[in-house]
Amino acid sequence: MSGTNNVFTQLSGSTPADASISKEHGLAYWESVSADENGMLGGIPTFAGFANTSKIDLQGSRNFLAKFGIGSKPGLRRCKRILEGGAGVGRITEGLLTELLVDENEEGKGPGKVDVVEPIAKFTAKLQGKKGVGKVYVMGLEEWVPEIGEGENKYDLVWTQWCVGHLTDEQLVAYLQRCKSALAEDGLIVIKENTTVLGNDEFDKEDSSVTRGEATFQKVFQKAGLKVVKAEFQKGFPQTRTMKLLPVRMYALKP
């Protein structure tokens, strides 16, 4: 969950914030955190009043997808194949995405699967062999290339959350373009990320990531050839007199 610690650096002059991203530094940070929910959320659940942060986050995501007719409840459609970018230990994989899968699709190709991309091996080890998990790509989003074999379904849903801050703008555009190429006809791409309060891009030295402003996200989506069909802020996160999470926004994208 990049940026949750709010340790930001304003870069002088016209130097873009993403110019300071170091892949090695970012990987070293994530190798140092625990392979559990608390580690994935930057220690936020350990603070008084913030224990339910993950539950609130997942429900907000569930509600957002329901607006596109996607869900596990009666009347909503399930997915044959899902991709999760930056899956970590599977907090979202198991807490949301696998419940959206079909048991059997109409072509008789068996139950749906969630493919995951995650560069930290000790995190992906938690997902190997889990029900509903398909291909596990132990690599960064900037390295991932979709593998759609003959007769295989494309992705009905691509979900990427709290990790694109480790990509430069150029890398993020390229990642989204690859996602678009692997998207099913009526598929949906969702980016759920922290956004800055003042709209400027800010660099976080601790995990070597960037928290982007709204204008930068819009430029990236446009360059990737994607349209924002819906955008909403996550609601309901806890806050105290001394602590408040950054604004988190969900973007639903289509070609």
What is the tens place of the pLDDT at every residue in 153-203? Answer: 999 999 999 999 999 999 999 999 999 999 999 999 999 999 999 999 999
Over 80: is that where the pLDDT of 63 sits? Answer: yes
Burial class (CB in 10 A: 0-12, 13-18, 19+), 20: middle
Instruction: State the pLDDT at residue 3.
Output: 41
pLDDT in tens, 206-253: 999 999 999 999 999 999 999 999 999 999 999 999 999 999 999 999
Instruction: State the pLDDT at residue 105.
Output: 64
Binding residues for S-adenosyl-L-methionine: 86, 91, 161
Instruction: State the pLDDT at residue 102.
Output: 96
Over 80: is that where the pLDDT of 20 sits? Answer: yes
pLDDT in tens, 111-160: 999 999 999 999 999 999 999 999 999 999 999 999 999 889 999 999 99
Binding residues: 86, 91, 161
Instruction: Please give the distance of CA 19 from its chain centroid, rounded to a whole number.
Output: 21
* Side chain identity at residue 12, one-letter code: S
| DSSP for 90-118, written as a single string | THHHHHTGGGGB-SS-TTS--S-EEEEE-
Q: Is the pLDDT higher at 126 or at 9?
A: 126
Over 90: is that where the pLDDT of 11 sits? Answer: no
pTM here is 0.94
Instruction: State the pLDDT at residue 5.
Output: 42
Query: What are the boundaries of each domain within the chain?
Result: 16-252
Query: Among all chains, which residue has been given the structure tokens 């360059």?
Result: 223
Burial 179-191 (b: 16+ CB within 10 A, else e): bbebbbeebbbbb
User: In the structure encoding, which two tokens stand for residue 181, read together?
Assistant: 């190429």
Instruction: Please give the distance of CA 238 from its chain centroid, rounded to a whole number.
Output: 21
* Of 244, 192, 202, 169, the residue nearest 1 (C-alpha): 192
* Of 155, 156, 139, the residue nearest 147 (C-alpha): 155
pLDDT in tens, 25-56: 999 999 999 999 999 999 999 999 999 999 99
Domain topology for 16-252? Rossmann fold (3.40.50)
